[in-house]
Amino acid sequence: MKKDVKLQSFITIGMLSSISFLLMLFNFPIPPFPAFLEVDFSDMPALIAAITMGPVAGILVELFKNVLDWIFSGTPTGVPVGHMANFATGILFILPVTFIFNRFKTVAGLVGGLVAGTIVMAVGMSLLNYAVFLPMYTYFLGMEPVVGDSLYTMIVAGILPFNLVKGILLTAIMAILFTTMRKWIERQRQMYLTK
């Protein structure tokens, strides 16, 4: 019985990773934010994996979808900087949601987790873009580094509000998904998360 659940969890993670990869292909920018910032809804399957099977499952879905996208879409820098940023964004979003939802197990707990995830993602990605991802992009693309007021403006007026808007969109969609899939989610949690 335990082997069956383990096998089923691997299959489910694989399916959710594939769905996540496909959703990643339907990305779009939100004016007036910088064009390189694009919204996609590929974090939804990872979040469903995390709340039904645990945080490791969600992290694996985030990892596999980015590896698949890197293989099939490539990257302009030759190094998957964008995929690493997407992976970090996903983890910063899904982990707070998972931990708070697991503590309260209610719609209010989920919404509280989504709000916390949005804030953690927005602030975390602002810091990571400042310290890691923007310098990597400019280095690998051979561009002049963005520094001083330009960098500050890009972070405060671009990346931070973009991730807040993205988090609000993901929160709205997840709230709708949760209300329609609640019984299924509870059954999955019972199967995967009960000892």
pTM over 0.95, yes/no: no
pLDDT, mean of residues 10-32: 94
Mind listing the pLDDT tens digit for each residue in 109-168? 999 999 999 999 999 999 999 999 989 988 887 778 878 888 888 899 999 999 999 999
Three-state DSSP class for 34?
coil
Closest Cα partner for 41 from 84, 93, 98? 93
**Integer Cα distance of 156 and 5 in angstroms:** 45
pLDDT in tens, 33-56: 888 889 999 999 999 999 999 999
What average pLDDT score do residues 50-67 get? Answer: 96
Which of 143, 145, 113 shows the shortest CA–CA distance to 129?
A: 145
